[in-house]
Amino acid sequence: MRTTLIAGNWKMNGSRGRTRELIRAIIAGLPQSRGYEVVVCPSFVFLADAAGALEGSGVGLGAQNVCDQDQGAYTGEIAGDMLVELGCRWAIVGHSERRHLYGETNTLVASRFVAAQRHGLTPIFCVGEKLEERESGATEAILDEQLHAVFEQQGAQAFRSAIIAYEPVWAIGTGRTATAEQAQAAHAHIRGRVAEHDARAAAELQILYGGSVKPENARSLFAQPDVDGGLIGGASLQAQDFLAICHAGGPQ
């Protein structure tokens, strides 16, 4: 049985005060006993504040990226050890904004994935196609390439300790959400590919959907058999919306 996970990707938003305030509101609105996991991923510079505010809440802390190298002359990068020291247990890798705005390649993303696992962080590995790729029927081929890069570097058991987020690029921050059927089809494809390498990992793998998840569409997305929760951008910045999405991850 896979647990539903709801992760908030706060991107480059907030301030120290706003981070603490948002966390306070989220914790206050979550039921004590909930059948799903909640993780928040604030900016690197607010991770220490966030870790303090989250203490004892059962809400997890994740980073928005992690360096592929362990230490040294990598200006502007953040090492896995540093994130672990601040209390992170998850790290997003390969978010489409990193791939498309900052030129991160499949190979670099896979190296970041490997580094996350090397440091004991669970990578939240983002995959997804652009609009033109979907329209030309290339969605599955793109997902395969993105997955292949990780298998190539980390081997067949790469997804034993990882999470995948399927985030169609055309749905991120656009208000346009994949239909529940489109999400299910992509998730089933991803799980099938992982199963070809490692059936046990595929069965246990949490595959999150991301891309304009809102309180109104969360329940139908999460109800799909291969959708195990969501990676939430814009709607995770408003406590009420994020909480409504979390509640949609609870018993139906």
Contact between 167 and 128 (Cβ < 8 Å): yes
CB of 214 to ligand PGA, least distance (A): 8
Of 34-42, 131-139, 229-237, 238-246: span binding ligand PGA (CB under 6 A): 229-237
Measured distance CA(249)–CA(233) in Å, rounded? 16
Q: For residue 177, which of 237, 105, 227 has the smallest C-alpha distance?
A: 227
The residues in 155-184 that bind ligand PGA, with binding defined as CB under 6 A, are: 167, 172-173
Of 141-149, 193-201, 216-224, 226-234: span binding ligand PGA (CB under 6 A): 226-234
Asked if 234 interacts with ligand PGA (CB under 6 A), we say: yes
Asked if 91 interacts with ligand PGA (CB under 6 A), we say: no
Contacts of 170 by beta carbon, 8 Å cutoff, 6+ apart = 129, 130, 131, 134, 176, 211
215's enclosing H/E stretch is helix 215-222
- Under DSSP, is residue 210 helix (H, G, I), strand (E, B) or coil? strand
Is 148 known to be catalytic? no
**CA 71: distance to chain centroid?**
24
Asked if 213 interacts with ligand PGA (CB under 6 A), we say: yes
Asked if 207 interacts with ligand PGA (CB under 6 A), we say: no
Is 95 known to be catalytic? yes
Among 53, 232, 243, 246, binds ligand PGA (CB under 6 A): 232
Specify the DSSP class assigned to residue 70. Answer: S
The residues in 94-153 that bind ligand PGA, with binding defined as CB under 6 A, are: none
Interface positions with ligand PGA (CB under 6 A)? 9, 167, 172-173, 210-213, 231-235
Just list the catalytic residues. 95, 167
